[in-house]
Chain A
Amino acid sequence: MTSIYERFRDSIRSEVPVALATLIEGPEVGAKLLIEESGFALGSLGGEALDRVVSRDAIAMLEAGTSEVRHYGPEGEARQHDLSVFIECHARRPHLVIFGAVDFTRALASQGKLLGFRVTVCDAREVFATRRRFPMADEVVVDWPDRLLERIGSDLGPRDAVCVLTHDAKFDVPAIMGALPTRVGYLGAMGSRQTHEKRVERLLEEGVTSAELERVRSPIGLDIGGRTPEETAVSIVAEIIALRTGREAPSLSEGKGSIH
């Protein structure tokens, strides 16, 4: 029979989201319950009712990807402190979708990998969107942005990011319009302030509301004076981090001055 450790190890290695609950204070210190998103469970913390409550909490925590200690009563009652359970969550990797197979994309894809994202590069132009140009990406897709988002949009969540680097309205507009209805946490679009103004006009013409546009970080990135593709990539991933952590960091989209 597979042990809890073996199942835990194999799930992490094969990137199946998994939570491991350990009783760290209570009668059976060290008792374990492994929980997967599907509801599959292995082990026990010492009682059916407790296991049920912890499983439910763990599945919710898996979505956010946080690990923490929770307190319960002997039967899993909330607001009681008889038992402490450490719930360790290994969520799926967050997804970074980059539209536009340009030089900036190469640097951003590498930065994304460094931060643990699964990286998809998408461009409708076959000659640009090649594996050879983006060996670091997890996948390179030749397609129109709106069509890719139709396929994967419902899987995008608060930990994921969409970066539109094409700075060509022909591709930018469908990419942004495709990403707006999704739950994606970060949505940014590259371009000079002038490109940005024109893009905003086009999007408004297409029926996007100004409230929706507030979600788009454009010009993309933090205002750190980045210039090269690599520096720009740092400013973009830094903005993604700052949005997730809720920290005050100067975004280019909030300022008016020159980008470089």
Chain B
Amino acid sequence: MDEIFDDIERWFMSGEKVAIARVVDIEGSGPRDPGAAMAVNARGEVAGSVSGGCVEGAVVGEAIELLEGRRQAGITSFGYSDDEAFAVGLTCGGTIHLFIEELDW
């Protein structure tokens, strides 16, 4: 998580709100272990990662919704989807559970 602090500091300094998504659990195959974290500001800028690039795009969407007050802090899960080529999911076949919240603590 230490690699994302610099960006978070910069965003805080310019008065921006920051959302943070952390991997809390994985089932089956998953690219990152629990604790992997990704921070997102309201403009959609990203620091860190929570997978091998499979779900980051969707997480940015969730994070912006959260910062705009359109969703609550909570668990969001992504699994494997083989029927829709462009659906968000992990290509490795696992399920990843993320906890997404505003970094206001």
- Is the A/B pair a real complex? yes
**Which A residues lie at the B interface, using CB under 8 A?**
3-5, 9, 12-13, 22, 24-25, 29-30, 32, 43, 66-69, 86, 88-90
Say whether, besides A12-B2, A12-B5, A88-B22, A5 and B105 are in contact (CB < 8 Å).
yes
13 A-B contacts, Cβ less than 8 Å apart? A3-B105, A5-B103, A5-B105, A13-B2, A29-B72, A29-B73, A66-B34, A67-B34, A68-B25, A68-B34, A69-B25, A86-B22, A88-B34
B53 within 8 A of A: no
Question: Which residues from chain B contact A86 at a C-beta distance below 8 Å?
Answer: 22, 24, 34, 99
Within 8 A of A (CB), among B58-99: 72-75, 99
- B23: min CB distance to chain A, Å: 9
Q: Is the CB of B73 within 8 A of A30?
A: yes
Question: Which residues from chain B contact A22 at a C-beta distance below 8 Å?
Answer: 22, 99, 101
Question: Which residues from chain A contact B25 at a C-beta distance below 8 Å?
Answer: 68-69
Question: Which residues from chain B contact A67 at a C-beta distance below 8 Å?
Answer: 33-35
In the complex, the number of residue pairs spanning A and B with C-beta atoms less than 8 Å apart equals 48
Question: Which residues from chain A contact B8 at a C-beta distance below 8 Å?
Answer: 9
Say whether, besides A69-B25, A86-B24, A9 and B5 are in contact (CB < 8 Å).
yes
**Which B residues lie at the A interface, using CB under 8 A?**
1-2, 5, 8, 22, 24-25, 33-35, 72-75, 99, 101, 103, 105
User: Which of A4, A24, A68 has the most chain B CB within a 10 Å cutoff?
Assistant: A24
Question: Which residues from chain B contact A12 at a C-beta distance below 8 Å?
Answer: 1-2, 5
Question: Which residues from chain A contact B73 at a C-beta distance below 8 Å?
Answer: 29-30
- The residue on B at minimum CB distance from A88 is B35
Q: Give the top 7 A-B pairs by smallest Cβ distance, nearest first.
A: A67-B35, A86-B24, A67-B34, A24-B99, A30-B73, A12-B2, A88-B35
Say whether, besides A24-B74, A67-B33, A86-B24, A32 and B105 are in contact (CB < 8 Å).
yes
Question: Which residues from chain A contact B74 at a C-beta distance below 8 Å?
Answer: 24, 29
Per the bound structure, the CA–CA distance linking A43 and B105 in Å amounts to 9
- B64: min CB distance to chain A, Å: 18
- B69: min CB distance to chain A, Å: 15
Say whether, besides A68-B25, A68-B34, A30 and B5 are in contact (CB < 8 Å).
no
Per the bound structure, the CA–CA distance linking A5 and B24 in Å amounts to 18
Per the bound structure, the CA–CA distance linking A3 and B18 in Å amounts to 15
Question: Which residues from chain A contact B75 at a C-beta distance below 8 Å?
Answer: 24-25
Q: Is the CB of A24 within 8 A of B72?
A: no
- A27: min CB distance to chain B, Å: 13
Q: Is the CB of B101 within 8 A of A30?
A: yes
- The residue on A at minimum CB distance from B12 is A5
Question: Which residues from chain A contact B103 at a C-beta distance below 8 Å?
Answer: 5
- B62: min CB distance to chain A, Å: 15
- The residue on B at minimum CB distance from A86 is B24
Question: Which residues from chain A contact B72 at a C-beta distance below 8 Å?
Answer: 29
